Every structure is written in C-alpha cells, then in structure tokens.
A = this chain, B = another copy of it.
C-alpha cells in the first residue's frame, strides 16, 4: 500500500477521488476506490430449505442464469474495479444508475435507499491492521460493503475478497445443523440480516483493540509519559473521529428498517434487525465513551507534563536557594580589603563554616516545611 500520507486522510474522509470524478455526469460508472484485489469474482449461493447450490466464475453470464426465483439467491461480487461486470449485474437486476455509482464509490457514507423493487444498503467493515505494518497512519482499515436486497435475491459487493462471511456460508451448507436449517427456511431478508449482523459483530473486535490501546496509554501516561505517548493519544483521538463517522450513520439506516419502512423486510425479520440496532447503539455509545476517555488521557498527559516541570523547577530552586547565599558569604571573605578584622580572627574560618552550615540547615528545614523535599 504505497499511498502517500496525504491521500490517507483524504481516503479516510472519503473525498479522495473528487477531482477524478468532478464534472462527469451523474450515473457515469467509474470505480473511484483503490484496486485492492486482482480477483473480480462472482459467486452465487442459491438455496432453499432442501438443498443449496453454489456457482463461482469470472464470467457473469455463466453465473447469472442459475438464479432461481423460487430460491434465495445470494450473489457476491469481490472487487469493484471490473466496471463491466457491475454494469451487467446492474442491467440484469434492473438497478438505478445512481445505485451503481454508489456501489462503485467506496467513500459512500453508510446509508439506505429504497428503490421500488429493491433496497440498497451500504455500510463499512472495519479491519484492524497489525501495528508493525504501519507506523504512522491509521490502525483501522475501512472497506465498504454494499447490499442490494430484492424479493428473492441478495447482492453483496465487496472491495476485496474477505473471509468475513465464510462462517455464514459454512453454516448455510451444513443442512443438518439445526441453526443453519432455520436460516435456510427463511427468505432473502433474513440472509440480509445475518450479513449485517456479521459486519456489526466485527466492529466489536476493533473496539476491543481500541480499548486495550486506551488502557495501555493510560498506564504509560501515569508511569512514563513521553513525546511518543502524546503522538499515540492524538492518533487514537483521530481514529475515534473516523470510527464514529463510519458507524454513526448506520444507526439511522437501521432505525428506518426497524420502523418497518421497507416492505421487503418481513415483520418477523424486523425483530432480528432490532437486535442489530441495539448492537449498533452499543457500538456508538462505546465510541463516545472512548472519546471521553481519550480526552481524559490528554488532560492527564498535560497535567503530568506540568507536574514534571514542577519537579524540575523544585530541584533548581532548592539547589540555587541553598548555595547562592553560601557562595555570597564565601565571596565576602574572598575580598581583598586591607582592613577586614574577621580574616585575622583565629577561628574566623571555622566560624564562617558554622554560619554556612547553620544557613544550610535552616534552608533544609524551610523546604521540608514547604513539603518540597
């Protein structure tokens, strides 16, 4: 991933390809994301209660004819750079050009659009990247997933191939398994729910890592705050801004679903969606809590900097305050006046030492009283 740092922010913000796109008429299909995979496969899982069939291929024409209106057809496309493929899928299912444009724009804000015969739904998946791989940029990687839900089909579009849905596929295949059977008894809307649920569940993994990072930084701030701690707090703060931005609009989309605004989602399935909705609220509240905690971290850091400065100043003040007066006394008796009676006292030198030690002890007592040492 040899993106410059600047494009990273633009990507996170989701404005990366505005220049590339500006001026083109709406509905012009170009993929504005990065080509994240060379694959551009299409695979179809078609099932009903009795059996399940799978078709995979690069050629849309080998796969699409297998869709069957009496079964649930789940068509998954990995890789969005193959415009022709997207276009022919769009043609086959009669999708609005703006919908296709939204699929191809990976910087789409999570949203849901109701077209007459199908429902468009787009959201982000979050993957956390290993820390070794990136030393400056984002810890979290955002990919866009788009769904088109029809009466008997569900289309899913992913930027790159992922194994997020593999568990679900496996469960659909194992007919004997009680839970899987239940899933295959139900319609495309239930499959749709299961996919959304899987995506939202994956948010928790990222949240857990962010939580661990916060606790790590908390310890660091207490024990040995460094300049690097500050950078990490700031990076975390930024990460949470982007996380919030990615997840927040999902709340609205799901709220529309559970209010029953979309006839394609049966009342039965809405009960399940309200469960996903609860999880989304939980995720959003957790992000807000993390933002509060990160703000606290920053406060703590600032205070610990002040405290360290205080300690430095105290050391300086104690040393200087003790020795400057003593040095002055030594300076006095280093003067070369002809007539300095003390110099000729037998024990003048020792008296002077006595005076100095007395001052020293007085100072120490004073600082002890002030609780400085």
Contacts and interface: CB of A to CB of B under 8 A. Distances in A.
Interface stretch (A36-44, A144-152, A204-212): A204-212
A55 interface: no
Nearest to A292: B241
Given A282-B14, A324-B320, A327-B328, A98 B272 contact: yes
A274 B331 contact: no
A289 B323 contact: no
A312 interface: yes
Copies of this chain, complex-wide, total 5
A26 B289 CA distance: 26
A179 B28 CA distance: 8
A3 B5 CA distance: 37
Contact of A286 (B14, B183, B317): B14
Most central of A21, A212, A323 by chain B CB within 10 Å: A323
A96 interface: yes
Contacts of A278: 108-109, 111
B343 A338 contact: yes
Interface in A1-34: 5-6, 9-10, 13-15, 18-19, 21-23, 25-28
Interface of A: 5-6, 9-10, 13-15, 18-19, 21-23, 25-28, 96, 98, 102, 108-109, 111, 113, 167-168, 171, 179-180, 182-183, 194, 197-198, 201-202, 204-205, 207-208, 211-212, 214-215, 222, 224, 227, 230-231, 234, 237-238, 241-242, 245, 271-272, 274-275, 278, 281-282, 285-286, 289, 292-293, 296, 298-303, 305-317, 319-321, 323-328, 330-340, 342-349, 352, 370-372
Given A19-B208, A330-B331, 4 more contacts: A6-B211, A102-B275, A109-B282, A227-B307
